[in-house]
Homo-oligomer: A and B are copies of this chain.
Amino acid sequence: MTDEFKIDPWSSTNIMEEDYKRLIKEFGIEEMSDSLREIFKKNRFIRRKIIFGHRSLDTIYRAIEKGKNWAVMSGIKPSGPFHLGTMTTALEIVEFQKMGGKAYYCIADIESWEDNGIPYEEAEEIAVDNLADILALGLDPSPKKAYIWRQSQEPIVKDACFKVSRLVTNNMLHAIYGEKTFGLYLAALIQVGDILLPQILDGAQPTIVPVGIDQDPHIRLTRDLTRRYYKKFFLPGSTYHYLLTGLDGSEKMSKRNPNSYFTFNEDLKSIEKKIMGTLTGGRRNKKEQKELGGEPQNCMIYKILMYHFEESDEKLNEDFLACIHGELMCGPHKRECVEKVIEFIKKHREKKEKLIDKARELLNII
């Protein structure tokens, strides 16, 4: 564990390109090999190389091969409406669930208390809204295929937290997370319980946790404590996606900075405005753009289409080529993107409205 280089799951600082490489090297994250990518190509985020690294993803592959149970686990901190960042994790779960994993989805309301001071009662309505979003995104909530819990209501995660805390030292937490409040350390140990829940509840099985790289400290802590306290369990695995930078040019889409993202509940005009104003990979003027071509790899329009709003790989590829060849201009591309997003959001809201009661029922919130 190096002390110089820390990533902080509770900050809104992004990880730079060179940092990704360093993380892979220093913390033992494995790069996604071509063969694993091929195996998991049904997963859009793996296929499109948005997921760039993993730990123990091969255990999932072996479980699929042998027809054994495996789990995909993630969750959301109920502190605000869904946005493109939370959507990534949610869709990753949906993709893995479609491949046969049982989905374990956690509403991290203890964390929203410790981190944001949101009382559980206040978190309830946000949780219902968030869960309706992920249902609308395609999560199958049937009991055989999914288990959904709120931390505050789930004895399993609290008990696991108390169990694993015994030999944890403050130095260890400091080395992983830096100087934080006791409450945030506690939230981290609750999250260890969340990640172990699939195996505590349904028996030892490979588990994959799709996260942004900023969440890796939780994965490392969990694997470390699993080795010590749950020797019969599989070490929880993980996949890592690149984090979207902010629409406004800020380092990371973050609930802490409303201009960096839009939410699913936002006024459509406001969403349109934010997209139209985002940074593209375009040149200073039309002439240059035609001569030099654009830089889609630095273009937020291209990225949000690739992450979420363009279903067709072929179309994405065509646009990429058209852009670098100077044939695609930013104006029309932005407008096309806006149309797709608005269309998606409208349909999503229709679906979601019908799912609010279901979400309420699943969370046992009346």
Contacts and interface: CB of A to CB of B under 8 A. Distances in A.
Given A155-B155, A170-B170, A162 B186 contact: yes
A303 interface: no
A113 interface: yes
Interface in A276-319: none
A331 interface: no
A36 interface: no
Contacts of A174: 170
Interface in A208-255: none
Residue of A166, A167, A173 with most chain B CB atoms under a 10 A cut-off: A166
Interface in A116-166: 117, 152, 155, 158-159, 162-163, 165-166
Given A155-B155, A159-B152, A114 B166 contact: yes
Q: How many copies does the complex hold?
A: 2
Given A158-B158, A159-B152, A183 B170 contact: no
A110 interface: yes
Nearest to A173: B182
B170 A182 contact: yes
B169 A181 contact: yes
Contacts of A170: 170, 174, 179, 181-182, 185
B155 A168 contact: no
Nearest to A181: B169
B186 A167 contact: no
A179 B163 CA distance: 20
A54 to B, nearest CB: 29
Q: Per DSSP, are chain A's interface residues mostly helix, strand or loop, or mixed? A: helix
Interface string A79-119: 00000000000000000000000000000001001100100
Contact of A182 (B158, B163, B168): B168
Nearest to A113: B166
Nearest to A166: B183
Contacts of A162: 110, 113-114, 152, 158, 186, 190
Contacts of A158: 158, 162
B163 A113 contact: yes
Interface string A51-62: 000000000000
Contacts of A186: 162, 165, 186
A158 B169 CA distance: 20
A185 B190 CA distance: 15
A169 B170 CA distance: 11
A57 to B, nearest CB: 30
A170 B179 CA distance: 8
B183 A165 contact: yes
A98 to B, nearest CB: 35
A318 to B, nearest CB: 51
Contacts of A173: 182
Enumerate the 3 nearest inter-chain pairs by beta-carbon distance, A residue then B residue, closest first: A168-B182, A166-B183, A165-B183
13 contacts: A113-B162, A158-B162, A165-B181, A165-B186, A166-B181, A167-B181, A167-B183, A169-B181, A170-B170, A170-B185, A172-B182, A173-B182, A186-B186
